[in-house]
Amino acid sequence: MKKYFSKIALFLIFAVSLVSAQTVKLKIIETTDTHGSIFPFDFVRAKKVNYSLANIETYVKRQRADSNQTVVLLSDGDLIQGTPVVYYYNFVDTNGVHLYARVMNYMKYDAATVGNHDIEAGHKVYDKLVRQFNFPWMAANAVKEGTDIPYFKPYTILHKAGLKIAVLGLITPAIPNWLPPKIYSGMEFQDMIESAHKWVKIIKEKEKPDLLIGMFHAGVDYTYGGETADTYKNENASLLVAQEVPGFDIVLVGHDHHGWNRWVTNTKGDSVLLMGGTHAARVFAAISAEITKEKDGALIKKFSGKLIQSKNFEPDSAFLSKFRKDFEAVKNYVMQPIGKFTRTISTRESLFGDSRFVDLIHTIQLDISKADISFAAPLSFDAEIKKGEVYVKDMFELYHYENFLYTMQLSGREIKNYLEYSYGRWFNTMKDSNDDLINFEKDDSGNVVFSDRNHTPVLKYRFYNFDCAEGINYTVDVSKPVGQRVNIKGFSDGSPFSLDSMYTVAINSYRGNGGGGHLTAGAGIAREKLKDRIVASTDRDLRNYMMQWIKKKKIVTPTVDYNWKVIPVEWAKKGKEKDFKLLFGK
C-alpha cells in the first residue's frame, strides 16, 4: 500500500512539474498612429486604398482563431486626427458613442496609450472617449496640474492565459510646445524617464507581473530637433527609457511614424525588444512571445517581432458591414460643396517660392485676424485643389491640421529673425546656379540622400516648417549665409517697416506655442514668454474658419502677389528646375 501511494505521489509531483513548466504563447499586436484610417478609403481623394483598421482586423481575427496562442491587441495613440472620418465624429456628429470607440471596442483592444494628436482634439473629445472605450486609455506622465496624480490611467494589468501582463503608458511631454493651453487645461506632462522609473517600481512591487510592456507615444530618435539624451522632457525618449529604466521586457513606440524592430540593452545588461509600426494603419507590429514558467517559478521569455503591412490582408467584410452607415455618413459630409475656385492651386509651387496655395491661407488668416502680417507654410507636401466646385474634403488638402489661429505681437526685428530661421532651414546656401535651391540632406560626398522607405529625396527639415510671410515685401538672398538672407523693404501697402516697432501677426497655434522653433530659436523669445504675446485666438480649428470663409465668398479667385522673391533670380530659377524634377519627376 505504501509503495502504491509513493507511486501516486511521484506521479503527482511529475504532473505538477509538467504544469509548472508549461509554455504559454502570446501574439502581441500593436497598431500606432492610425490617424483615423478606419476604412480602406481616402475620403479626401475619393478613392480606395489598401490599408486600414479593417485590413488589420482580418489579421487579428486569424490570430485569435489559432487556439495555440492568446492575442494581446494594443494601440499606441494618435487615433483621432488626420482624416475627415475622425474630424466628423470629433466636431460634427458628436451625439452618441464616438466611431473610434465603437470600432476599437468591436476589435476588442486590450489597452491603448494617448497620443499628442488625441489631446489636440480637446477635452470634450478625449474625455468622452475615456468613458466610451472598453479598455484603459493610458498616459502615466500626463498628470493633474500641480499634482503627481495621473489624468489618465497610468497602467493596466491584463490577465492572459494564466499570465499577469502589465502595460505602462507614457506620452511625449512636448505637447505644451505645440498646443494651446486650453486644450490640455488642468494637465501637466512629466519627463518620460522620471515617470518610468517611478511607475516601474510601483508595478514591480505592487503587481509582480510576469511580463512588463512599455507602450510609449514618443519616438526613438532622442536627438530630433537638436535635443540630446540629457534634454529634460525629451520629445522622443522611448529608446532612452528602454535603455535607462530596467524592468521592461518589451517597449512599443509610436509618434515618429518610422517603423522599428530592434533589440536594445538596458543598464542591467538585459535585452529589451523595441518595436513600433508606422502610421495610418499601413504597417503594424506583431510579436510572437513564448513564456515558460519553470517549476521553481522562474520565467523563460522568448520574443520575436515582425513589422507587417496591412495591405497584405483584405478588409474584413463583417467590419465593413458593421460600420457601413458611418462610412456613408462621412462620405456624404465630405462631398458637400462649399464654394468654387476659379484656379487650381498646388503645394508643389509652394516649396520653391510664393504661391497661390499659401497666399490663399494668408488671405484667410489676415481677414479673420485683421493682423498686420501673416505667417504660413504648406502643410501638405504634394496637394492640389482643382478649379471648379470645392468640397469639404478639399479643406483637408488646404489645411491638414486642427490648429487654432493666434494673433500675436512681435517686433520687426523678431519678424525678420523668424524669417531668417525659416529660410535657413528651407533653402540651401547656393554657390552658383548649378546648386540645389532646396536644403536637402546630403551625404559626406555632397550627394542628396534618398529615403529607404519611399526612395524620395530627404529634406533636411520638414516642409510644414517652411514659413513665409504676407503683408510685407522682402527678398531672400540664397547666396548669403543663413541669418543674413532676408531684406524687408516695407509693408505691401507701401507703409514703412521698422525693426524696432511692434506689429500684430496671424500665426497658427502650433507655431505660436513654439512648434518648429521659429519663435524661440529664430525670433529669440523664451518659450515661457510666448503666451504673453498672444492677443487673440480662435475658439475652433482654423480649417473650420476657412470653410466658413469660402462659403461666404462663394467664388474664390486664388491669387499670388509675389510679395517675396528668392534672389539671385537666375540661380533660384535653375535651382527650382533641377529640384522640381528631383522631387516630383517632371
Which residues of the chain form CATH 3.60.21.10?
Answer: 22-331
The pLDDT score that the predictor gives to residue 295 is: 78
User: What does the alpha-carbon distance between residue 554 and residue 389 come to, in Å, rounded to a whole number?
Assistant: 10
Residue 429 main-chain phi, psi, to 5 deg: -85, 105
Mean pLDDT of the chain: 94
Long-range contacts of 229-236 (CB under 8 A, 24+ apart): 232/191, 233/173, 233/174, 233/189, 233/190, 233/191, 233/192, 234/173, 234/191, 234/192, 234/193, 235/172, 235/173, 235/174, 235/177, 236/172
| Binned average pLDDT, 10 residues per bin, the chain of 586 residues | 45 44 93 98 96 98 97 98 96 96 98 97 97 98 97 98 97 95 96 98 97 98 93 97 98 97 97 97 98 85 97 98 98 97 97 97 97 96 95 94 95 98 98 96 92 86 96 98 97 98 97 95 96 94 95 97 98 96 88
Convert the pLDDT of each residue in 38-68 to its tens digit: 999 999 999 999 999 999 999 999 999 999 9
Q: What is the CATH class of 22-331?
A: alpha beta
- Over residues 490-512, the pLDDT tens digits come to 999 999 999 999 999 999 999 99
Q: Is 532 helix (H, G, I), strand (E, B) or coil?
A: helix
Q: What's the CA gap between 104 and 111, in Å, rounded?
A: 10
Superfamily of domain 336-584: 5'-Nucleotidase, C-terminal domain (3.90.780.10)
- pLDDT of 5 reads 42
Q: All 3 cell numbers of residue 308? A: 507587417
Confidence (pLDDT) at 454: 74
Per-residue confidence (pLDDT) for residue 114, from 0 to 100: 98
* Residue 30: other Cβ atoms inside 10 A: 25
d(CA 100, CA 151): 21
What's residue 88's pLDDT?
97
Helices (H) and strands (E) in the chain, counts: 16, 29
Cβ-contact 556, 395 below 8 angstroms: no
Start-end of CATH 3.90.780.10 domains in the chain = 336-584
